[in-house]
Chain A
Amino acid sequence: MTVAMDAPKDAFRLSQLIYDTRYRSYTIQVIVLLVFVAFLAWLLNNTAANLAAKDKDIDFSFLWARAGYDIDQQLIPYTNDSTHFRALLIGLLNTMAVAILACISATVLGVTVGILRLSKNWLVARLMTVYVEVFRNVPLLLWIVLCFALFSELPKEPKDFKVTQEMVDSWAGPEEGRIYPAASMIFMDTVAVTNRGTNVPKPLLHRPLGVIDVGGIPINLSTIAVLAVFGASLWVNRRIRAHAKAVQEATGVRPVTWWKSLAVIFLPTIVMLAVLGLHFEVPAFPANEAGVSKGFNFQGGINVAHSFTALLIALTVYSATYIAEGVRAGILAISKGQTEAAYALGLRPGRTMSLIILPQALRVIIPPLISQYLNITKNTTLGMAISYLDLKGTLGGITLNQTGRELECMLLMMLIYLCISLMISAVMNVYNNSVKLKER
């Protein structure tokens, strides 16, 4: 006869710490903790010893000292009398500017290319494949440096855009038309690409709302007002669509909304801009009465440095290939049965794409898209190769070299990049969760 008994309770033996799976994980964790703490202590000890040997300390007060160097591209006012912290802010803004623009343009280009690569058109699909393979199998640095070389070596000098005395003398009169200088501007005579930068028109307001200063950072009230009006329009548009949906649910007929949406989204903003008196200042050479240009460079407008343009273009064409691959993979991942089911329900191809395929494909497309945005942001540091003064160029470049505080500058810079990355992934993860498949 057998009797159910409790398992024998052995006394705890030391060897159980190693051989018993119940305790082993604690042993391992204790060892890992010891090794980790010892490693950290070793690092800190070395750092302290090295700092002491070089007679240095860790001190961030250099951030408030005079920077003493100039930065070409400044989104907020900055002179070489400003502090290093101000230079850091300028660098951060420059990083964000090129990163945000590159994200937008790379997404547009990438989605287009990704869809075209799936096109039934043999030639277009092949061309897009060639584009994707060529651009993503060659280092980004090459594209950046190549773009920069193209911009700074190929275009004309600013003086080629001038109207000289000889041109005026040989001009036959108004019936010949206007005088054409050696080089001509593009986009209806508004943009001049020279070897010293691209001159683009500058938006100005006749009746600006003014500027307030928040902690040294100027905030343009006109921009805020325009953005607020645009945001309000978007909200009203959402209400219109929600109403249309409610009507559709109730009656089965969806009211026509497209012209309402168009009007609501764009009209208020346009009116607002008109009230503020938006006009553009086109870059041009000042001229005397005879029409002969004076000066050495364009007056007015904004001079965009080639480092910015080249970095933006190179980041766009390079990252777009990755986004295109993500889009293609996302669309291919949706099984053919979905398309066939949509056709069986009587949906037209366009609506099949927008109502059935894309919403499902987005779930596959978004995660790689997030990591591409992160990559773009991190890759802006490559602008260093063409002297684009982003965060790496100011804080991690000139400030570091001037003050000799490698440890502080590098740690601060890593921290800032880490924060940017974590912020982007947090924002995009919220979006990703909103389109995620709602499972059981």
Chain B
Amino acid sequence: MSDSSFIRSEMLQPQIPPVSERGIVKWLRENLFSGWLNSILTILALVALYFALSNSLPWVLNGVWDAGSLNDCRAILAARGEDAVGACWAVLSRWNQFIYGFYPVELYWRPTLAAALLIVALAPVLYFGLRRPTTYMTGGIGLLLLLSLFGLKTDTWHIGLAAAVFGALTAVAWLLPKKLLYVTLAFPGIGFWLLWGGSAWGPVAVMIGLGLVGALALWTIPRIGMILAALLAALLFLSWFMDPISSVLDFFGMILGWVLAPETVASILRPVAGLRDLLPLQPHVSGGLQSLLPVSLEQVDSDQFGGFLLAFVIGVTAISASLPIGIVLALGRRSDMPLVKMICVGFIEFVRGVPLITMLFTASLLLQYFLPPQTNFDLILRVIILVTLFAAAYIAEVVRGGLAALPRGQYEAADALGLDYWQAQRLIILPQALKISIPGIVSSFIGLFKDTTLVALVGLADPLQGIRKIVLADTDWKGIYWEPFIFVGCIFFVVCFSMSRYSMYLEQKLKTDHR
């Protein structure tokens, strides 16, 4: 009983949206020309982009890769045309100096192997012992290493050695990925030996000493408590690496010298003078092992280090050493004990208040005043120590931010569970606090790696200033300046950019809240 005159019996087909509401036009309207301000910005950006690219692209792409000197380069370019512009990428034939500094050419396999092992040592830390990524990474790095060793014209024996080592490591990564952590623990010794050479037993004895100290501490803490265990461990550490007996004897000699004649003091101390040669234990162990089974590599002096090799040695050492020191400083700064807190605050604020350059100059000029007379050790080591202390203060502030961001309830809950201070820190507080501080920690690391270029100012051959100037001093390449900058800048960019991307991955991975 419908009284309508017309009822549509079938639906209209949907029409496609108008041109301005679909496809590329819609995207353009929304993203580039959504208003007069945005349109102006877009046009300005396009003009700027055009100028930048039209000036740089021909120069980059038209570059000369095969020339013996800058003059050759210019001749080749002139032959291409009257106003041909182009970079002279041929200067990158000196790439090996930018990477390895003055390291002996026939020994290039050693830093290369050390770098590959470093990445394997990092793998279990970076990927939490996950089997698949760890194995792929180890295997991939192994292949890359073999390729680069071929490229570096290494002799067959060492290539075979590297292949065997990496075959074994890949197998370990597949079967027992968590066990790769032992490579991480041993890497400081291996890396040092590969880079500087010398007797293998020196680093081995150092690692044994550190292992003994750690084992002693772990074994004694549950039995006699934290304080006594720490004192015992410190005693072992001192007698392994240093000479506390001589210092104590000197100290007593000094006290006695105030009241007694020098001859009397000497005669009193004579019976125990033989103890002076007893310590440190480490040279005895390494010397004994070396005489039993001599294993050594050709020694390379520190002044042969340079380029990115130097930047990585300083950067990696300082990064890995500054994190634990920074965490301890942060915990000290939040400690209930006023004295501990005061010392930590004083150290952190002092270091953060002065520029890094002053710390580097302290390493090169002042450390000789603060250390016992006749102590003279390597400039690289001194720089590493001060850069580490510098970075540790910054990391401490980042970690303190993470600690402060934790709700109080977490601390109280840990106390309520009956955990002692270190258990609470290890199991409850630090995992959460460090997770919060990851972006800050990684950006500290990036800053530290970039700051390794500053060592040029105390006379070390960093890639940017040291090596570049050496290349420019060559008559063949005098007057070239863009290309080395671009090369060095690109490598720094790749390293720093991948670090920052990894920190983003880590943040995502460790994110447990549901926001």
Contact = CB atoms under 8 A, between A and B. Distances in A.
The contact size tier of chain B is: 35 or more
A423 to B, nearest CB: 10
Interface string B347-382: 001101111111001100110111111000000000
B41 A119 contact: yes
A366 to B, nearest CB: 15
A414 B360 CA distance: 12
A53 interface: yes
A60 B309 CA distance: 41
A142 B453 contact: yes
Interface string B204-243: 0000000000000000000001011001000000000000
B391 to A, nearest CB: 14
B279 to A, nearest CB: 17
Contacts of A120: 30-31, 34, 38
Contacts of A137: 446, 450, 492-493, 496-497, 500
B72 interface: no
B354 A414 contact: yes
A417 B354 contact: yes
Given A28-B340, A418-B354, A121 B497 contact: no
Given A53-B373, A142-B492, A382 B357 contact: yes
A27 B453 contact: no
A141 B362 CA distance: 20
Interface in A378-396: 378-379, 381-382, 384-385, 392, 396
B343 A384 contact: no
> Which secondary structure dominates where chain A touches chain B?
helix
B45 interface: yes
Interface in A383-431: 384-385, 392, 396, 400, 406-407, 410, 413-414, 417-418, 421-422
Interface residues of A, number: 58
A378 B492 contact: no
A338 interface: no
A257 interface: no
The winner among A121, A122, A153 for most chain B CB atoms within 10 A is A121
Given A134-B493, A137-B493, A142-B464, A410 B340 contact: no
Contact of B41 (A27, A49, A51, A121): A121
A275 interface: no
Contacts of A182: none
A32 interface: yes
The winner among A381, A396, A400 for most chain B CB atoms within 10 A is A381
B78 interface: no
A173 B249 CA distance: 95
Interface in A261-281: none
Contacts of B41: 116, 119, 121, 123-124
A381 B358 CA distance: 9
Interface stretch (B59-67, B137-145, B481-489): B481-489
B457 A138 contact: no
A139 interface: yes
A439 B372 CA distance: 53
B373 A146 contact: no
A31 interface: yes
Interface string A85-107: 00000000000000000000000
A184 B41 CA distance: 30
A19 B343 CA distance: 24
B456 interface: yes
B366 A142 contact: no
Interface string B473-515: 0000000010001001100110011001000000000000000
A33 B370 contact: no
Contact of A407 (B349, B366, B481): B366
B238 to A, nearest CB: 12
Contacts of A385: 456-457, 465
A43 to B, nearest CB: 5
Interface in B11-44: 30-32, 34, 38, 41-42
Given A32-B339, A385-B457, A127 B350 contact: no
A185 interface: no
B214 to A, nearest CB: 20
Interface string A37-58: 0000001001101110100000
B496 A384 contact: no
A47 B371 CA distance: 7
A139 B45 CA distance: 26
Contacts of A36: 343
Interface string B325-360: 000000000001111100100000110111111100
B269 interface: no
Given A32-B343, A46-B369, A382-B357, 8 more contacts: A24-B227, A43-B370, A50-B368, A137-B497, A138-B493, A139-B451, A141-B453, A414-B354
23 contacts: A18-B228, A119-B41, A120-B38, A121-B45, A122-B32, A127-B48, A138-B450, A142-B453, A142-B464, A142-B485, A142-B489, A145-B464, A378-B355, A379-B355, A382-B357, A384-B357, A385-B456, A392-B357, A406-B366, A407-B366, A410-B362, A410-B366, A417-B354
Interface of B: 30-32, 34, 38, 41-42, 45-46, 48-49, 225, 227-228, 231, 336-340, 343, 349-350, 352-358, 361-362, 365-366, 368-373, 446, 450-451, 453-454, 456-457, 464-465, 481, 485, 488-489, 492-493, 496-497, 500
Question: What 4 A-B pairs have minimum CB-CB distances, sorted nearest first?
Answer: A122-B31, A137-B496, A378-B355, A421-B353
Interface of A: 18-19, 24-25, 27-29, 31-33, 36, 43, 46-47, 49-51, 53, 116, 119-124, 127, 133-134, 136-142, 145-146, 149, 153, 374, 378-379, 381-382, 384-385, 392, 396, 400, 406-407, 410, 413-414, 417-418, 421-422
